[in-house]
Amino acid sequence: MKVFGERIRSLRESMNYSQVKFAETFGIGQSSVVRYEKGEASPSLELLVKIADYCDVSLDYVLGRTDNPQGKLYDCKPPNGYSTNMENFVEMCFAPGSPMNARLKQAILQMLEERDNE
């Protein structure tokens, strides 16, 4: 809990937020921020995720599991070669019936394939 409290305080201070401003940002009371920073209380998982997302850091960093704010999986890259899942994703991005639909989809899939071959 000590590392967590230090991380919360450090993140808050890096944004130049007072405890009051930090509390308002996340819809909690200032007393909660004080207890979190002192390691006397733990926020809900939902609040932890909001803090990590807002501060653009990983939950591993907030919880003290790593000293790298980007977290353990930040540099993780998908395996080479796009899958049919990627094709499905691209398909969902475009309006059916659009005259450029097929050409745009093909261009994106080609770029993904070229990236994987680098």
pLDDT tens column, 16-50: 899 999 999 999 999 999 999 999 998 999 999 99
pTM for the full model?
0.58
Q: Are 72 and 60 in contact (CB under 8 A)?
A: yes
Tokens 């920073």 map to which residue?
37
Cα–Cα distance, 83 to 61 (Å, whole number): 31
Share the mean pLDDT of the chain: 80
pLDDT confidence of residue 78: 46
Cα–Cα distance, 10 to 82 (Å, whole number): 39
pLDDT confidence of residue 46: 92
Question: What residues have CB less than 8 Å from 118, skipping those under 6 apart?
Answer: none
Question: What are the domain boundaries of the chain?
Answer: 2-62, 84-116
> Tens digits of per-residue pLDDT, 46-80?
999 999 888 888 888 888 888 888 765 555 444 44
Q: Could you name the CATH architecture of 2-62? A: Orthogonal Bundle (1.10)
pLDDT confidence of residue 84: 54
Which of 113, 105, 104 is CA-nearest to residue 81? 113
